[in-house]
Amino acid sequence: MLEIRNLHARIAEDGTEIIRGLNLTVKAGEVAAIMGPNGSGKSTLSYILSGREDYEVTEGEILYNGENILELDPAERAAKGIFLAFQYPVEIPGVATMQFLKVAMNEQRKARGDAELSTPDFIRKVKEAAAELKINPDMLKRPLNVGFSGGEKKRAEILQMALLEPKLCVLDETDSGLDIDALKIVADGVNALKSPDRAVIVITHYQRLLDYIVPDTVHVLYKGQIIRTGDKQLALELEANGYADIIGQAA
């Protein structure tokens, strides 16, 4: 589903190189974890996948279902099924969560040439998905992310993911700022979305989230490169020994 070949990328503004020859393959149905110490380029990778303009790809390619997506803008990528759950979800004052969901769902449908959802269909879908995530219906009337607690914000992200039905889900540090109960709800939400035609990339600093969302593959990102790939054992190893060993071996 996703193939990243020899990717080099830098911050557009000051030219700092962040990704330095990254290779990664994620198959449909796979849950891939990307781990690494702070500043290794994890969040940058998620932004580059989703097409944020602040970064410039200088070399390499990103193939999504065989298509090079580097020329597509973020909205086009989203319509093709790439979804990013943000580490820090953004507040949109005055725009009710419900309204935001409707605009996003219909814009994606429009881009794919599908008819807009009828209002009853839309409301039914949202209510079902919200109940799964134990989201209070009142939250849906509030402006998106404005005054939401950390847990509410992350649940709102997973709610959007469930409703937009993406093919490639990228979760950027979704566990940060969550207590254990919220973490379980969020993980259940993600697990419910697992399917043979969908891939999930879980970006995380800690093993903790991977107890609940069990990865098929684990990749260690360091200084803009994948320096080690393994199965879920690798995450446990990292948890026990820290990154120093692996970094040492790579150096």
Partner 1 sequence: MAAVQETIDQVRQIDVDQYKYGFETVIEVDKAPKGLSEEIIRFISAKKDEPEWMLEWRLDAYRRWLTMEEPTWARVDYPKIDFNDLYYYAAPKNTPGPKSLDEVDPELLKVYEKLGIPLKEQEILAGVDKPRVAVDAVFDSVSVVTTFKKELAKAGVIFMSISEAVREHPDLVKKYLGSVVPTSDNYYATLNSAVFTDGSFVFVPKGVRCPMELSTYFRINEKNTGQFERTLIIAEEGAYVSYLEGCTAPQRDENQLHAAVVELVALDDAEIKYSTVQNWYPGDAQGKGGIYNFVTKRGDCRGHRSKISWTQVETGSAITWKYPSCILRGDDSRGEFYSIAVSNGHQQIDSGTKMIHLGKNTSSRIISKGIAAGVSQNTYRGQVSAHRKATNARNFTQCDSLLIGDRCGAHTVPYIEAKNSSAQFEHEATTSKISEDQLFYCLQRGIPEEAAIALIVNGFVKEVIQELPMEFAVEAQKLIGISLEGSVG
107 lies in the site for partner 1, by CB under 8 A = yes
> Which amino acid, one-letter code, is at 140?
L
Applying CB under 8 A, among 36, 41, 51, 224 the residue interacting with partner 1 is 51
What is the largest distance, in Å, between two alpha-carbon atoms of the chain? 58
Decide whether 9 or 234 has the Cβ nearer to partner 1.
9
Distance CA 40, CA 224 (A): 6
Decide whether 92 or 214 has the Cβ nearer to partner 1.
92
By residue count, the chain amounts to 251
122 lies in the site for partner 1, by CB under 8 A = no
CB contact at 8 A, 33 and 193: no
Applying CB under 8 A, among 6, 39, 65, 75 the residue interacting with partner 1 is 75
Distance CA 186, CA 190 (A): 6
Q: How far is CA 82 from CA 34, 76, 126, 185, 199, in A?
A: 17, 9, 20, 22, 10
Decide whether 55 or 243 has the Cβ nearer to partner 1.
55
The contact mask relative to partner 1 for 163-182 (x = CB under 8 A, - = no) is -x------------------
Tell which residue, 57, 44, 55, 122, has the closest CA to residue 84: 44
143 lies in the site for partner 1, by CB under 8 A = yes
Decide whether 11 or 75 has the Cβ nearer to partner 1.
75
Q: DSSP state, 126?
A: H
CB contact at 8 A, 48 and 19: yes
CB of 222 to partner 1, least distance (A): 26
Decide whether 73 or 128 has the Cβ nearer to partner 1.
73
Q: Please identify, among the stretches 30-38, 87-95, 181-189, 200-208, the one whose residues bind partner 1 according to the rule CB under 8 A.
A: 87-95
Q: Which helix (H) or strand (E) holds 49?
A: helix 42-50
100 lies in the site for partner 1, by CB under 8 A = yes
201 lies in the site for partner 1, by CB under 8 A = no
Interface contacts to partner 1, rule CB under 8 A = 50-54, 73-75, 78-79, 83-84, 86, 89-95, 99-100, 103-104, 107-108, 111, 143, 160, 164
